[in-house]
Amino acid sequence: MTRDTSVQAPSAPGASAATLDWLSSPPPGQLIAGAEREGRAAELVTVLDPGTGNQLASVVAASVDDVNDAVHAARSAADDGRWSELDADRREALLHALAQLLERDADLVTELEALDTGKPRVQAAEDVQEAISVLRYFAGWANKHQGAVVPAPRQLHAYTTPEPLGVCAAITPWNYPLPILTYKLAPALATGNTVVAKPSELAPLSVLHLARLAVEAGIPDGVLNVVTGAGSTGAALAGHPLIDKIAFTGSTATGKRVMESATRNVTRVSLELGGKSAHVVFADADLDAAVDAVMAGIWTNAGQVCIAGSRLLVEKSIEEEFLTELTKRTGALTLGHSLADEADLGPLISAAQRDKVLHSVQTASDEGGNVIVGGQTCDRDGFFVEPVIVAGVPATARIAHEEVFGPLLTVTSFGDEQEAVAIANGTSYGLAAGLWTTDVGRAHHVSRRLRAGTVWVNTYGLFHPTLPFGGTGGSGFGRELGSSAIDQYTESKTTVMDISARSRSAKVEVSND
């Protein structure tokens, strides 16, 4: 299989000359032991602009042999100590160099990320800045995570050392390709691990550029390897016996398969999966701010976000007032191509995802929900669906439990705190929740009772490198970001030495013999 090079000048409305130049000669798809090459699989990965449906680039997917090569490259780099035994200061400097190069290329990577995912340019720019911050934050950890001297019995001198796990597989989705990879890559590299990354076949371009930058930064060959391909490439990686840890972000269904692979090889795994997060608004809230946050919580990235606040739970007494304002502001949003300045909202990632969302709108209506705004496709190229609000959704409805991964907000009202918590906790997921109230006691009380990895109070969707993030229940386990991430990529070694007088005299006797 050779890749399709017929798309010499891809149509990318609004793209800069530098982006068009990059797209006319994209990386071949695999980075293995510091060298770029095409994959050897029979399939092509064809990358589309979801805002037009046109092809942006294509790469030949990695075969099982390519995955094997990438894992062996990472294994050698882990075993010969070229990274883990490097001075921690040097690892820190190299991660900062990578962040610096990403900052240098921020405009290009922003456009690649916007074109590839369909999200508006401003949102893609925030993603790139987040990736830079995450790299810098974890660069700082390289020479700061340390072990401890253990207060063992006096005849012993004992200490612990945090050691890298070895080879980490990072399997990532298409909605936030760059930040989600850095959540895994940055702590893994800072603590001395080597990595094989597999970006989503639907949006691999920014990660392929990052791989180039890693080589340019001087990160040793084999420390970061990238393979591009679809589910079979991911499965070959997740099931490889020489992997020490799999860090996965994606759907709950795929996460279960990854966990099965991990079980077979006794591989550590962390899973950040789906969600059906509740955004709970009490009558005492700052309603103006709450409306904006509810909108950002569901319309950002056209709802294709694991933490999307896709269930609005609103106190009965303010339901009408709240929905009137929410509907008005939602109706004023502009759908558009990622590089069009006026775009508030982009398309869905693919035709399949668009059709899934439209099907969910139908399901919601069939279950008695009342579509109060949106829900239609648009008369234009690309995979667009108007943001849709479905009111009057019973807490028991399927649409209130199943993740849509699109711009669909369900609305359910509640009478009191007790009922709000019961509805919010009533799904199999537990990734995040939002809570709006001006009553401080209620904020803490309700937050404590919500089953979610993160509860945002009087804000929503706020990420920072210092804030641990991850789910519970069907949303997975393990925490990314913050100091928790360091524990995800290190294992503690205990060293115990007998320093008693008896052992010293035993040594003297031996030497006297």
CB of 255 or CB of 465, closer to ligand ADP:
255
CB of 198 or CB of 354, closer to ligand ADP:
198
Q: Which of 250, 303, 473, 476 binds ligand ADP (CB under 6 A)?
A: 250
Measured CA to CA, the distance from residue 409 to residue 354 in angstroms comes to: 15
Residue 251 CB, nearest approach to ligand ADP (Å): 4
CB of 191 or CB of 353, closer to ligand ADP:
353
Q: What does DSSP assign to residue 475?
A: G
Say how many residues touch ligand ADP, by CB under 6 A. 17
Rule CB under 6 A: which of 74-103 touch ligand ADP?
Answer: none
Indicate the residue whose CB is closest to ligand ADP.
234
Among the listed residues 387, 393, 424, 221, the one whose alpha carbon sits nearest the alpha carbon of residue 299: 387
- Asked whether position 251 contacts ligand ADP by CB under 6 A, the answer is yes
- Asked whether position 270 contacts ligand ADP by CB under 6 A, the answer is no
- Asked whether position 173 contacts ligand ADP by CB under 6 A, the answer is yes
CB of 198 or CB of 451, closer to ligand ADP:
198
- Asked whether position 230 contacts ligand ADP by CB under 6 A, the answer is yes
Measured CA to CA, the distance from residue 82 to residue 394 in angstroms comes to: 57
Measured CA to CA, the distance from residue 30 to residue 139 in angstroms comes to: 25
Rule CB under 6 A: which of 284-313 touch ligand ADP?
Answer: none
Point out which span in 65-73, 249-257, 422-430, 433-441 binds ligand ADP (CB under 6 A).
Answer: 249-257
- Asked whether position 234 contacts ligand ADP by CB under 6 A, the answer is yes
Q: 190 CB contacts (<8 Å, ≥6 apart)?
A: 91, 92, 95, 138, 139, 141, 142, 145, 486, 489
Retrieve residue 211's tokens.
Answer: 């791989």
What HEC string does 339-395 produce? CCCCCCECCCCCHHHHHHHHHHHHHHHHCCCEEEECCCECCCCCCCECCEEEECCCC
Residue 156 CB, nearest approach to ligand ADP (Å): 44
Whole-angstrom Cα Rg for the chain:
25
For the chain, the residue count is 513
Longest dimension (CA), the chain: 94
- Asked whether position 231 contacts ligand ADP by CB under 6 A, the answer is yes
The verdict on whether 272 is a catalytic residue reads yes
CB of 208 or CB of 424, closer to ligand ADP:
208
Alpha-carbon distances, residue 218 vs 78, 85, 212, 389 (angstroms): 16, 16, 10, 49
Among the listed residues 378, 330, 323, the one whose alpha carbon sits nearest the alpha carbon of residue 354: 378
Choosing from 92, 130, 306, 403, the catalytic residue is: 306
Point out which span in 84-92, 133-141, 170-178, 281-289 binds ligand ADP (CB under 6 A).
Answer: 170-178
Measured CA to CA, the distance from residue 377 to residue 356 in angstroms comes to: 12
- Asked whether position 200 contacts ligand ADP by CB under 6 A, the answer is yes
Rule CB under 6 A: which of 15-44 touch ligand ADP?
Answer: none
- Asked whether position 201 contacts ligand ADP by CB under 6 A, the answer is yes
CB of 353 or CB of 410, closer to ligand ADP:
353
Return the H-helix or E-strand segment holding 21: helix 17-24
CB of 208 or CB of 373, closer to ligand ADP:
208
CB atoms within 10 A of CB 251: 15
Q: Which residues are catalytic?
A: 272, 306
Applying CB under 6 A, the residues found at the interface with ligand ADP are: 171-174, 198, 200-201, 230-231, 234-235, 238, 250-251, 254, 257-258
